Amino acid sequence: MDFQRLFLFIALSIVLLLIWDAWQKDFGHQAPTPTQASAPAHPGAAPSSGTGQGASDVPTVAPSASTPESAKTPASSAAPAHAAQPADVLKQGRRIRVHTDTLDVVIDTVGGDIRRVKLPKYPVSANKPDTPFVLMDDTDQHLFVAQSGFTQKPGVKVNAPNHYSTYSAERTDYTLQPGEKTLTVDLTWTGRDGVSVTKRYTFTRGRYLIKMAYLVHNGGTRPWQANAYDQLQRTKPPSQSHLGEHTYTGAVYWSPSDHYQKVSFGDIDDGALKKTFKGGWAAMIQHYFLGAWIPNPDASFHYYTQALNGERYVIGLYSPQLSVAPGQSRTLDASSLFVGPKVQKRLEAIAPGLDLTVDYGYLTFISKPLYWLLAKIHGFVGNWGWAIVLLTILIKAVFYKLSETSYKSMANMRRVQPRMKAIKERFAGDRQRQNQAMMELYKKEKINPLGGCLPIAIQIPVFIALYWVLLESVELRQADWIFWIHDLSTKDPYYVLPIIMGITMLLQQRLNPTPMDPIQAKVMMVLPIAFTVFFAFFPAGLVIYWIVNNSLSILQQWYITRVVLKTKGAAT
């Protein structure tokens, strides 16, 4: 077998994969132009006939005293209340600003929705350290909000607030003061027959988890009953291209039986999610950050999705029926909302499987140990760039023997290359005799033509797994290394690292046997240039890994080739 031909095939396959991935990112998932043609979602409302859940199997939000007229539908309608809304944007009431050390949040009195979330500890870029990253917002183009409220079964009048209802609050500005551990924000809704509901948000210092509870007072003469729901609503993000880099943005959920599941925007368009299970969670994720509703793990919840005119997408859940006796008050523990970075250690402590939102794909079982090792090294050296360098060295050491086998095979192939060329010339017109003579040469010289390929193939899954670790780890975002590299998650602004990577790839290629086929030889010479262009757009952390890996490979290959050629040459 011609090892060079196989190596060429593998290399070109990688290039084609990168091209396809970049093309998909640029053109394969174009988001529609946002318009003002859809209304906020209703939990469990059927988006259209045949694709969603009907009024018969989900509760609906019946209009309450404070539900706007635009949200009401005739009582005789077969569709859930406000399943189809007039074309309008999210309504706005008074804005309540909440400041903590980790969150800058805007709550709207309409629905008590969380409409905007800024992350002060995560600037939008290294060049703008005072401008916090905006995770949630209620603008049309970048809409991403957290909504919650109460709902009931079809035909039953609800005496409780939903995400159209208007709350009141004592203040419009809340700040977590020095020395305070928690901050409580209460929003109150007053209904009919002496019923009032207070939605209470509790913020905690140093945390991105917002706890929510309902304080229900039933001053009437009849039992109060309703189901609590929580949902996340967002639009598709505009297409943003990073060549060779494509991370998932969309809905996900976790259940004890299905574990971690993605529900893409296309999946939601095709059909609504309808599942009931104990505990779990529902989230909208994106690169580095997420918003997730985490309910009581001991109760069963119904999970749902909904597409709104192909522009807005919803994932949410609603609880079993809750009740408060006449003349009684009750505190109802609701779901908690996580809005923040995908730091695995934090997520693991919040809910089972939430750390899987750091999405490594099919190679998670390899990626997670690599991330653990990378984090341990960082804890020792205190710099993520040097942690990548040391991790690469450790991986190279683990695969030293495999690489040694590969390089010995390539050295032997280089040594017998003149004889291989002579065989090809001697039997140029007889392919069968040529292959037979090649096999005899391999057998005589004890050369395995696959010896240079198999060790590399075995290492490929590890390389891919590490690629995803470096791509998905929010810790690398705006992490300094040395000199001008101030953000390991973005490309080298001066393209120095990609050029160095291309040089190391060219030097490594020089140590390999030159393909006897002139066309193959020319293509192999072009590969370092092609990879340099691709890596020019890769995050700096990934390029550092490839530079170190290539440099170690050059040193190892040079040493083995020199020893093998010298030993074999002396024996000959």
| pLDDT value of position 416 | 77
**Burial of 91 from C-beta contacts in 10 A (0-12 / 13-18 / 19+):** middle
pTM to 2 decimals?
0.79
Q: Indicate whether 19 and 45 sit together in one domain.
A: no
Residues 292 and 248 in one domain: yes
Do 258 and 173 fall within a single domain?
yes
Based on the domain organization, do 339 and 391 belong to the same domain? no
> Does 213 lie in the same domain as 167?
yes
Element (H, E) at 415: helix 400-415
Q: What is the CATH number of the domain that holds 213?
A: 2.70.98.90
Residues 319 and 408 in one domain: no
Same domain for 244 and 380: no
At a CB cut-off of 8 Å and minimum separation 6, what does 179 contact? none
pLDDT at 149: 95
244 close to 538: Cβ distance less than 8 angstroms? yes
Domain end: 359, 383, 403, which one? 359
User: Structure tokens of 48?
Assistant: 């259209």
What pLDDT score does 14 carry? 56
Q: Give yes or no for a contact between 383 and 480, defined as CB atoms under 8 angstroms apart.
A: yes
Strands 173-175 and 95-99: parallel
Report pLDDT for 308: 85
Same domain, 107 and 148: yes
- Give the per-residue pLDDT at 289: 96
Measuring CA to CA, which residue among 273, 539, 551 is closest to residue 393? 551
Number of domains forming the structure of the chain: 2
Q: Are residues 278 and 375 in the same domain?
A: no
The span from the CA of 251 to the CA of 426, in Å, is: 63
Residue linked to tokens 């368009």? 269
Same domain, 395 and 538: yes
Let me know: does 171 contact 165? Beta carbons within 8 Å: no
Quote the domain boundaries for residue 376: 3-23+366-571
User: Among the three residues 326, 359, 392, which one is the final residue of a domain in this structure?
Assistant: 359
Q: What pLDDT is recorded for position 362? A: 83
Q: Which pLDDT value is given to residue 413?
A: 72
CB 106 within 8 A of CB 116: yes
Same domain, 162 and 232: yes
DSSP string, 306-370: EEETTTEEEEEEEEEEEEE-TT-EEEEE--EEEEEE--HHHHHHHSTTGGGGS--GGGHHHHHHH
End residue of a domain, out of 294, 328, 359: 359
Q: In degrees to the nearest 10, what's the CA dihedral of 16, 18, 23, 26?
A: -170
Q: Do residues 129 and 106 share a domain?
A: yes
Burial, 173: exposed, middle or buried (Cβ in 10 Å; 0-12, 13-18, 19+)? exposed
In the chain (572 residues long), the average pLDDT of successive 10-residue segments reads 47 50 43 35 37 36 39 32 45 95 97 96 90 92 93 75 94 95 97 94 97 95 93 83 64 95 93 92 95 95 90 93 94 94 95 93 89 94 95 89 72 74 77 80 71 66 85 90 90 92 85 63 75 85 90 83 58 48
What is the pLDDT at residue 82?
A: 36
User: CA quadruple 290, 295, 296, 300: dihedral positive or negative?
Assistant: negative
The helix (run of H) or strand (run of E) holding residue 107 is strand 104-108
